[in-house]
Amino acid sequence: MSHQKSSLREHLSSHKIIPNKKLGQCFLVSEEALEEIVETSEIKEQDRILEIGPGTGILTEKLLEKGGIVVACEKDKRLFEILTKKFQQEINSKKLFLVLGDFLNLKFPNFLKDFGFAEKRYKVVANLPYQITSPVFKTLLERNFLPSDIVLTIQNEVAERICAKAGEMNSLGVLVQSMSQKCFIQAKLPPSSFSPEPRVDSAIIKVEGVKYPSEMEVAFLRKVLRIGFSSRRKKLIKNLKNVFSKEKVDSIWEKLKIEENARAQDLPVEKWQEVVRELDK
């Protein structure tokens, strides 16, 4: 792995590029981690893939080798120019479409539709800057253009919360699990898998079989979660009564047999979904 790190430093140095901490640039250098990401993604020939933050293109190259058609969004103009030169052949053959810009500021999903992407017929595979994990998930899940699967390398602590069981849930975890058939951590990666090394461990997370929850609007689900998790130390029933009628919330608690002292993080995903459906009646 030291060889990969040395090669990366030389590569960036030759282009006079210093990794930008504000952009959360920690470049993947572990061949084992790359293989794990690609294997987890289960890329098939002609699969359409959205990659957010390709960086130096080390993952992009692997995705293209599997036969996928990739749209890669890169915010850093310096790296975008390197990628353009590196993948000129793939760009010319329309196997790769490079987009210069911050994914969170792009017109999603319109720009993907322009490249022939269709809902539920594309995958998201990316090594994300830690600070954009939550907004990326929300963008992908709330714009009526769901991918089929999502494979991301993110901070391990965040991955554990997203895949957590009742007692350790957070609002993002409830949202993601409510909108997928399966959510799991495939592998954990030490800081040495990246250059420069982050101060925390990372994890490869897979969200499989992305779907809309039945009998509820995603926007309303998000609203209820935001209210419910607004004060984690307070009882969930009190948080909800700040917005919804006391009588309605009390009747739901009685009907669903929820403990009065339950906090937002205590409810399993299935129970959260029942609460949201009842509130929306």
Looking at 210, 228, 262, which one is the last position of a domain? Answer: 210
Residues 206 and 222 in one domain: no
CATH of the domain at 90: 3.40.50.150
CATH number, domain containing residue 250: 1.10.8.100
Rounded Cα distance, 179 and 207, in Å: 9
Is residue 242 domain-shared with residue 152, that is, in the same domain?
no
What are the tens digits of pLDDT across the range 149-159?
A: 999 999 999 99
Rounded to two decimals, the pTM is 0.91
- Residue 34 above 70 pLDDT? yes
pLDDT in the model for residue 232: 85
pLDDT at 3: 45
Question: pLDDT band at 281, cuts 50/70/90?
Answer: confident
Q: What is the pLDDT of residues 236-256, one digit of tens each?
A: 999 999 999 999 999 999 999
